[in-house]
């Protein structure tokens, strides 16, 4: 069967992809992006069928060329979760004119690889400078489009670890107030647990980008999290693991100049139950209360209502 290029690969991948033949695919169309940590199973053979790599599981970071296998970055940019493909890799994207003596791959060899992508963890650079000093890993995506706003009270599972992976703080069902409304006692508690690092602001910024039900981690390089307001250079490396269970909306009532603040303790099942402009609402007018004229006086039937156009 002749090898044919993938239109999807050409569309999604900025670099030329090795020719591939799909064996099994899923319907998820989003491929792994740069920095994604991909778990896959693969095996490799020469064109004459000689196996140089029996099937094995590997973890590959998209964009990392330190493995000495340059085909991964362009190829994985066109894969989907659960997809298995056969790749035909020319020497320019394989082991080159030197070959790989350790695997008995001769110089200038064309490779035939069978690759199955098991899963991957998306990794986003959320630092202001985009220099990799703050990397967010998403383990479980949340639901819905809403995100916590300033002043919301978020319920989270939270764990803080140092550069060596030692746990510094662990909380279950911890209620955290987002942003500048965070009580001073809570900010001090977080600071003390982190050995003086100002993790409160970093944690709040992370939560503002999370969906309800999302589980993620944030790995901060040394110097990213300052230890005091004066020490802008920051302290050692830290990592936070957060699971956002939900939140209570705390927000000022419109047209009150923030003099009245409301906290939503229970929401309706549907998110769009507030009427907007143009909605047709059925209302039941209530006249001013009148003294009863008889003991048997009855209230109007609930069906006595009329539509109202906003």
pLDDT at residue 68, as a whole number: 79
At residue 276, does pLDDT exceed 50? Answer: yes
Average pLDDT over residues 57-73: 88
The residue out of 120, 147, 174 marking a domain boundary is 120
Judge whether 148 and 130 are in contact, CB under 8 Å.
no
The residue out of 206, 228, 250 marking a domain boundary is 250
At residue 15, does pLDDT exceed 50? Answer: no
Average pLDDT over residues 55-69: 89
The answer to the question of residue 224 being in a domain is yes
Q: How confident is the model at residue 73 (pLDDT cuts 50, 70, 90)?
A: confident
Among 218, 227, 215, CA closest to 190 = 227
Q: Clarify whether residues 75 and 144 are in a common domain.
A: no
Judge whether 262 and 253 are in contact, CB under 8 Å.
yes
- Predicted TM-score (pTM) of the model is 0.68
At residue 222, does pLDDT exceed 50? Answer: yes
Q: Clarify whether residues 42 and 58 are in a common domain.
A: yes
Q: Clarify whether residues 46 and 132 are in a common domain.
A: no
Average pLDDT over residues 202-230: 90
Q: Clarify whether residues 87 and 190 are in a common domain.
A: no
Q: Clarify whether residues 28 and 100 are in a common domain.
A: yes
Please give the mean pLDDT across all residues of the chain.
Answer: 82
The answer to the question of residue 265 being in a domain is no
- 178-187, 194-203, 268-277: which range is least confident on average? 268-277
Residues 6+ apart with CB under 8 A from 99: 105, 106, 107, 108, 109
Q: How confident is the model at residue 187 (pLDDT cuts 50, 70, 90)?
A: very high
pLDDT at residue 29, as a whole number: 58
At residue 138, does pLDDT exceed 60? Answer: yes
Q: Clarify whether residues 231 and 208 are in a common domain.
A: yes
Angle value at C-alpha 144, between 143 and 148, nearest 5 degrees: 95
Q: How confident is the model at residue 248 (pLDDT cuts 50, 70, 90)?
A: very high
**Helix, strand, coil % over all residues of the chain, rounded to 5:** 15, 35, 50
Residues spanned by the domain of 28:
7-120
Among 125, 176, 117, 171, CA closest to 148 = 176
Q: Clarify whether residues 77 and 163 are in a common domain.
A: no
Average pLDDT over residues 97-113: 94
The answer to the question of residue 271 being in a domain is no
Q: Clarify whether residues 78 and 166 are in a common domain.
A: no
Q: Clarify whether residues 173 and 114 are in a common domain.
A: no
The residue out of 205, 223, 250 marking a domain boundary is 250
Average pLDDT over residues 225-237: 67
The answer to the question of residue 262 being in a domain is no
At residue 10, does pLDDT exceed 60? Answer: no
At residue 97, does pLDDT exceed 70? Answer: yes
More confident of the two residues 202 and 254:
202
Judge whether 186 and 176 are in contact, CB under 8 Å.
yes
Q: Clarify whether residues 76 and 130 are in a common domain.
A: no
At residue 28, does pLDDT exceed 90? Answer: no
The answer to the question of residue 59 being in a domain is yes
Q: Clarify whether residues 99 and 190 are in a common domain.
A: no
Number of domains in the chain: 2
Report the C-alpha gap between 229 and 222 in whole angstroms: 16
Report the C-alpha gap between 174 and 200 in whole angstroms: 13
Average pLDDT over residues 261-282: 70
Judge whether 37 and 137 are in contact, CB under 8 Å.
yes
List the structure tokens of 34: 């740069």
């Amino acid at each position: 069967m002749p090898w044919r290029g993938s239109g999807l690969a050409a569309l999604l991948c900025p670099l030329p992809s090795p020719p591939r033949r799909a064996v099994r695919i899923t319907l998820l169309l989003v491929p792994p992006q740069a920095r994604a940590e991909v778990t896959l199973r693969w095996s490799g053979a020469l064109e004459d069928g000689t196996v140089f790599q029996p099937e094995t599981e590997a973890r590959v970071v998209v964009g990392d060329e330190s493995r000495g296998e340059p085909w991964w970055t362009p190829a994985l940019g066109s894969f989907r979760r659960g997809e298995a493909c056969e790749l035909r890799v020319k020497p320019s994207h394989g082991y080159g004119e030197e070959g790989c003596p350790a695997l008995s791959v001769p110089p200038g060899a064309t490779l035939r690889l069978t690759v199955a992508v098991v899963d991957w963890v998306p990794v986003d650079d959320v630092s202001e400078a985009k220099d990799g000093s703050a990397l967010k890993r998403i383990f479980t995506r949340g639901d819905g489009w809403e995100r916590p706003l300033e002043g919301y009270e978020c319920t989270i599972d939270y764990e803080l670890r140092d550069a060596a992976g030692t746990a510094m703080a662990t909380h279950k069902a911890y209620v955290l107030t987002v942003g500048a409304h965070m009580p001073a006692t809570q900010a001090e508690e977080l600071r003390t647990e982190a050995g003086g690092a100002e993790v409160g602001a970093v944690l709040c910024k992370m939560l503002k980008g999370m969906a309800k039900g999302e589980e993620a981690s944030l790995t901060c390089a040394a110097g990213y999290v300052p230890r005091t307001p004066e020490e802008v250079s920051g302290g050692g490396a830290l990592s936070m693991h957060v699971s956002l269970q939900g939140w209570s909306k705390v927000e000022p009532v419109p047209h009150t100049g923030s003099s009245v603040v409301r906290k939503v303790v229970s929401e309706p099942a549907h998110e769009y139950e507030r009427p907007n402009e143009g909605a047709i609402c059925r209302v039941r007018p209530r006249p001013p209360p009148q003294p009863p004229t008889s003991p048997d006086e009855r209230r109007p039937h609930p069906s006595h209502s009329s539509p109202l156009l906003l």
